[in-house]
Chain A
Amino acid sequence: MADLKVRIGALELKNPIISASGTFGYGLEFADMMDIKKIGAFCTKGLSLKSRAGNQMPRICETPCGMINSIGLENVGIDAFEAEKLPKIRQAGATVIANFFGDTEADYVEAARRLAAMDGVHALEMNVSCPNVDKGGIEFGGDPVFLEKLTAAVKKVCPGKPLIVKLSPNVADIRPFAAAVENGGGDAISAINTLKGMSIDVKTRRPKIKRVFGGLSGPAIKPVALKMVYECVKTVEIPVIGIGGIGSLDDALEFLIAGASAVQVGTMNFVEPAICQRLAEELNAYCDRENIARVTDIISTLRTD
């Protein structure tokens, strides 16, 4: 039995396999299909102060080795999460990372304050790939100066719990954004969110997604994600959580070797609901087989000589 524990700021995870926001519901949906205590943590669907209905249908479609979604951040809202979901999640013994977002900086701060105060929420993950209402629709995660300010403002209201900031890959260079999170006092970075993409139904000549553009995820984006995660790791000292197209132990190892302290599995949860538990088990078996005492011994071992 290898030591699979990793640290994300003050939080110790029992292993580095996390299920990603928007692909794991509120965790409870998986209760019949796996043991959600056995994975490092899970990220909730992105939460906002008020519940949201999300975008119009259709809002998903398939692409080569991937999918596009334009769910539009549908969620039950923070009140319902606290009242209806969290007690059951706590009972299930899961480690919870509350993913959240807002339309304005004030929304973000208030959401973080609320979530940080909840017993059973172990860390916060801030999704900054949302249009900023105050700044005319530019994404919060699209300007490093603003991102640093937002991070600092949010960190102030959740001093006791790790604040992970989730970066958008739809930028020319991710490094200034990683640096902005660190400078703003963020405890960790997670990367990447979805790439912007589009798909057309040739028969109807309509976009397959009602809102035309959506977010590309799945194995197709893995090389892009790995490159950006590696760049973040080279830029900051705080832990980086790797996300994008992970579907096998080798995929997870690629991110750990590149320097990620933990990984998140998104789209592949749809294909294989128990995948995170399987990967955690396989990671343990791998470490034993390879005589690796601590999973942290794998992190940042890329050889580029």
Chain B
Amino acid sequence: MSQYEVTFAGFGGQGIMTAGQLLAYAGIEEGKQVAWIPSYGPEMRGGTAYCTVVISDHRIGSPIISNPRCACVFNRPSFDKFTPRIKPGGLVIINSSLINVTTDRTDIDRILIPANDIAIKAGNPKAANVAVLGAFVAATRIVKLETVKQVIKEKMARKKSMLEMNYRVLEEGRKLAMDSLKGRKVKV
């Protein structure tokens, strides 16, 4: 890999920004160049929020990514908006708890993660983002799952019970991704 780009998108409040930041932190931990770019969109409430993370081995030029390699979409409007933009050969991760459609693109991989259900089951409805992150890391191996765990510990969940819950959700995401891809790693 020389450079990888992933967009996280959903409603405000779905932890979109945090998911991207955790990934970016993990990239730094592993000595990579990273850029995290939010939509700080119209000074208005509601609507779709998204962020893009660029992880690279070299200096990052354009932080503006029109066609990321991967999109993790948390709700229907995000699915509609970002799936078509994914680079051929890329990956879409769909929050199947809220999105009941799937893409007919055959030039990209797809993973369905019932992220909200996983999170609710684990006891924290807000952890849906972590489930998707688990799936993303498992599928792409852009960073190590271990690194992500460490970052979650440092930046997010200092309380032990919280930490364990997050780890459980992360693991669930990872497992579902692996199942979905049947062990094969997505091209990066």
A pairs with B: no
A residues neighboring B (CB under 8 Å): none
